[in-house]
Chain A
Amino acid sequence: MKSLSNQVVSMKPSGIRRFFDLAQTMENVVSLGVGEPDFITPWNVREASYAALEEGYTAYSANAGLIELREEIASYMKERFSVHYDPASELIVTTGASQALDIAFRSLLNPGDEVIVVEPAFVSYGPLIEMAGGKVVPVACRPENGFRLDRNDVEGAITERTKAILLCFPSNPTGATMTGDELAQIAELATKYDLWVVSDEIYAELCYDEPFVSFATLHDMRDRTIVVNGFSKAFAMTGWRLGFTCAPEVVTREMLKVHQYGMMCAPTLVQFGGLEALRTRNQHVPGMVKSYRQRRNYFIQALNEAGLPTHVPGGAFYAFPSIRHTGLTSEEFAERLLIEERVAVVPGNAFGESGEGFVRASYATSLEQLQEAIRRIERFMKQFEMTTTRQDSQR
């Protein structure tokens, strides 16, 4: 048989995969390895999707999505993030933010174009860029800055081939956020070097300390930014696969071609669910945000007390504790924690080299489960107390 695509064959499977297989074989696992809300989609949203099914909305929608949904997204973007998009020409409803990223990169990149990817980063960024012909140029966020991005580090990575910067704040996996002023420094670089910006704002609603600033609202950025957002995190709708892009018409027009030929449209029933979710957002989102904030407060404190130094994440629902002092790699740490104490976390190196020395622990799980996880982590960490003390006294 003839060989398969060299590009795909040479691509590494997600670093999470091996770990996932191991965790699935075990029982009594307290999982902090989940990158999704523990809430179930609000009932009225599920009910709206039922109703659409009952009424027979089983056909294709417009390629860019139901116009009612695009109008509602436009009004949401205006009300919540103070940025205006034309529902008819600047919005596309996608099957999740992942597909939104895919059509964004396919539309932006020529072979060899470089994309600056802010790391540690979500696992699919690199492969999506490479499949679109681009080259990934990682720029690491420094732990000593609480994983906020330094403009000088970005500028140092810009070359003649740089086409775009990919940002994700609040960050998966670090939970780090950026203030408007800090983002403005990155925006200046985009203007100075004439770059596109892809801003993955999927965690926008989940900010606990500072108000979220959409990258598109910064000076000169609306017309060079593709905002990617979706329903998964804010509305607890991960399995529905519903996202959207907001971008100037010049690029939306091109993305729509990729979307049209590759996906046709997002599932119509799901879009009706999304419409209900947006219309009733004020009933659901604030309560979920409050609950995540409380759990963050507890969990970060408890991890630090258990001997895992952890910065306070301003958003998302991830803690990113350092495990360096254990002398283990992040994979060894995660594997031993899973086997010895049945607590699942994700090794930091799954999110890029700069994630080594850290693990991602999601606090989107019940308080009771978090308490149990902390009890087990405390027990697990006891074996390292001796080692640390010994190392300290040798110094």
Chain B
Amino acid sequence: MYSSKELELLELLEEKGYLETKMLADLLAVDEATIESMLEKFKQDGILLGFRAMVNWQKINRHDVTAFIDVKVTPKRGRGFDDVAERIYRFPEVTALYLMSGAYDLQVVIRANSLQDVASFVSDKLSPLDSVLSTTTHFKLKTYKHDGILFTPQTEDKRLNITP
């Protein structure tokens, strides 16, 4: 069980992971040692997996390619989808992998340098796997919003400087 302060800390970290311990302590009205021990606990429990920056590569014109691949597979008796999932997520170009409900089973997200690289990933690595029945590949054209963050220009503060 996690306390409401612990849950509040997790929410805060998910939104503003860059904050320093002192600031986190002030925001939650606890001392810094408490924050440190909570963080330690989250790491040990496998709840806090890491911190990353959200980079808008579109601004730098880096020509990498993101593809979403819908994959139908045959599950294995007793192991379900986990074995085939493991064989897929071990490829380093796979940035995300989800088990889905609906028309297909796995959604594979890959980031590669070119369309050609995506094509060869699908034909050389993904499709030949025994359990894979079919694949449908979609390419991302533009990111508008990712993990709650807008990738289009932020709107500025429209308030006046002083109001009663």
How far is it, in angstroms, between the C-alpha of A155 and the C-alpha of B144 when the chains are bound? 60
Say yes or no: B28 contacts A34, CB within 8 Å.
no
0/1 interface trace, chain B 143-163, chain A, CB 8 Å (1 if under): 000000000000101011111
Which residues from chain A contact B27 at a C-beta distance below 8 Å?
A: 294-295, 297-298, 367
C-beta contact mask, B63-82 vs A, less than 8 Å → 1, else 0?
00000000000000000000
Interface size of B in residues (CB-CB distance below 8 Å): 17
Q: Would A122 and B12 count as touching, CB distance under 8 A?
A: no
- Which of B8, B19, B26, B164 is A16 in contact with, Cβ under 8 Å? B164
From 80 to 132 in chain A, residues with beta carbon under 8 angstroms from any chain B beta carbon are 122-124
Interface size on A, residues (CB 8 A): 32
- A23's contact among B28, B155, B161, by CB below 8 Å, is which? B161
For window 337-371 of A, CB contacts with B under 8 Å fall at 344, 346, 350, 365, 367, 371
Q: Note all chain A residues with C-beta closer than 8 A to B164.
A: 14, 16, 35, 122-124, 172, 346, 350
Task: Give the docked Cα–Cα distance between A81 and B50 (Å).
Answer: 42
Among A172, A294, A344, A367, point to the contact of B162 (Cβ < 8 A).
A344
Q: Indicate if B29 sits at the interface (CB-CB under 8 A).
A: yes
In the complex, what's the smallest C-beta–C-beta distance from A169 to chain B, in angstroms?
Answer: 17
Picked from B28, B159, B160, B161, the residue with its CB within 8 Å of the CB of A294 is B28
Q: A290-B8, A294-B12, A367-B16 are in contact. Are A35 and B163 (CB under 8 A)?
A: yes
CB proximity of A376 to chain B, nearest CB, Å: 15
Is A33 a contact partner of B161 (Cβ separation < 8 A)?
Answer: yes
A303 to chain B, nearest CB (A): 11
Shortest CB–CB separation between residue B153 and chain A, in angstroms? 15
A34–B26 touching, CB < 8 Å: no
Report B's interface with A, CB cutoff 8 A.
8, 12, 16, 19, 23, 26-29, 155, 157, 159-164
